[in-house]
Amino acid sequence: MKKLLSLAVAVSIGISAHVHADRLSSELIKPIEPAVVTEPEKVELGKKLWFDPRLSMSGFISCNSCHNLSMGGSDNLPTSIGHNWAEGPINSPTVLNSSLAVAQFWDGRAADLKEQAGGPIANPLEMASNHALAVDVINSIPQYREEFARVYGSPEVTIENITDAIAVFEETLVTPNSRFDLWLKGDDSALTAQELAGYETFKSIGCVACHNGPAAGGTSFQRMGVVEPYQTDNPAEGRVAVTGKDADRFNFKVPTLRNVELTYPYFHDGAYWELEKAVDVMARLQLGRQLNEEEIGNVVAFLKTLTGDQPELSMPILPPSTNDTPRPQPFGAK
Ligand code: HEC
Ligand code: HEC
């Protein structure tokens, strides 16, 4: 009897493992795996730098200002507010799961997170500092020097090491265990009938051709407005800015749909606040499909199942400035 029972258990495990393997291999969206931290001290240092507004000219703007980890890694504004209340040129994408993308920025002009992290510090419309000044600020703080010495073997802070630490911290900002991922891994009860219907629509009409991989996006650059042009006042032209090829005009990196319910407003110009409208625009402009209200509701219900565990962080306490630390200039040079 005992033998039979264990056989039955083995068979049922075998069957469910088979179903898991099926979804995991056949579906084009893959689960997000939890971050594996191999360098905890570097992650901790990167987290401090991520939250440190002293990397900005004003002493007020940190990476977290525009990629707020309490709000899905975005700022929930159409375009960001930078130094001196500068109006940013483009919507701030979420940093959650950004390590999974083929490249960074809407036009992919940075190859990876490390290359990306140097950009905002020196961008006059963002943190408006420069690398030399940012390095001077961090170098003037003994506790930072001690941490850099522990992590990089030298107390001398460089922009290389600053961006490396930030990038390694960002690699931990993944969001596993969404209900959709539980379903992918075989838990049939993880999704409702409506959410499943939405996913079927998402696949059958072709959304998944562009929004695929673990991030449900981030795997390619695609035209915004395949069937019908996208109307916008935003001057960004996308990928052509990097390649110079006319064919890349208005191609943007396909954004991740992970946590999309948290990262409104949508599109590179942040023009759409409602997920329903964003889905309607996508269906018409990318696929030439007019979805009815029920179909849109279903797809939106599916998209909300892509919200995963948000990174749980304890706020870092930043080491204090010293008498030698260059002073912030919140209102311009005095
Ligand atoms: C003033 C707002 C602002 C600040 C401050 C800021 N960012 Fe950004 N970030 C943006 C915007 C806007 C974009 C999109 C720019 C583009 O694509 O041209 C972006 C893009 C990114 C991306 C690419 C994401 C993707 O999907 O392509 C990453 C990663 C990122 N920022 C990390 C950082 C880090 C690290 C810092 C701090 C060193 C930082 N940001 C500071 C606004 C900001
Ligand atoms: C041909 C490729 C392609 C197809 C097909 C496609 N998308 Fe997109 N999607 C994109 C691109 C590119 C963007 C970014 C466009 C921009 O911001 O200008 C985007 C943006 C989005 C956004 C906004 C995300 C954000 O953070 O701003 C949502 C939501 C979205 N797509 C959902 C869908 C849905 C639902 C479908 C099917 C109805 C779909 N997409 C079909 C390429 C595609």
| Complete DSSP assignment for 89-148 | SS-----TTGGGSSSBSTT--BSSHHHHHHHHHH-TTTT---HHHHHHHHHT-HHHHHHH
> What is the reported pLDDT for 7?
43
3-state secondary structure at position 178: coil
- Between the CA of 206 and the centroid of ligand 2 the distance, in Å, is 11
> What is the reported pLDDT for 126?
85
48 plus 132 within the same structural domain: yes
Q: pTM above 0.85? A: yes
145 plus 188 within the same structural domain: no
Whether residue 231 lies inside any domain: the answer is yes
| Number of domains the chain is built from | 2
- Between the CA of 94 and the centroid of ligand 1 the distance, in Å, is 8
Q: For a substitution probing ligand 2, which of 254, 292, 302 has the most ligand atoms within 8 Å of its CB?
A: 254
DSSP H or E segment with residue 296:
helix 293-304
Whether residue 301 lies inside any domain: the answer is yes
**Which of 170, 200, 220 is the last residue before a domain boundary?**
170
191 plus 258 within the same structural domain: yes
> What is the reported pLDDT for 5?
45
Q: Note the ligand closest to the C-alpha atom of 215.
A: 1
Whether residue 319 lies inside any domain: the answer is no
Q: Which positions are annotated as active-site residues?
A: 126
> What is the reported pLDDT for 315?
95
Q: Please, are residues 100 and 218 in contact by the beta-carbon 8 Å criterion?
A: yes
295 plus 226 within the same structural domain: yes
155 plus 187 within the same structural domain: no
Q: Please, are residues 218 and 256 in contact by the beta-carbon 8 Å criterion?
A: yes
- Between the CA of 205 and the centroid of ligand 2 the distance, in Å, is 13
Q: How far apart are CA 310 and CA 19, in angstroms?
A: 27
> What is the reported pLDDT for 332?
76
DSSP 19-66: HHHHHHHH-SS-PPPPP--S-HHHHHHHHHHHH-GGGSTTS---HHHH
Whether residue 133 lies inside any domain: the answer is yes
Q: How far apart are CA 92 and CA 190, in angstroms?
A: 31
Tell me the residue range of the domain where 56 lies. Answer: 40-170
CA-based nearest residue to 177, from 59, 319, 310, 323: 310
Core vs surface per residue 322-334: b (16+ CB within 10 A) or e = eeebbebbeeeee
10-residue mean pLDDT profile of the chain (334 residues): values are: 44 50 92 97 98 96 97 98 93 98 96 92 85 94 98 95 97 98 97 98 98 98 97 96 95 98 98 98 98 98 98 96 95 71
> What is the reported pLDDT for 6?
46
**Nearest alpha carbon, ligand 1 atom 36:** 63
Q: Please, are residues 282 and 254 in contact by the beta-carbon 8 Å criterion?
A: no
> What is the reported pLDDT for 123?
85
User: What is the domain-level CATH number for residue 271?
Assistant: 1.10.760.10
254 plus 295 within the same structural domain: yes
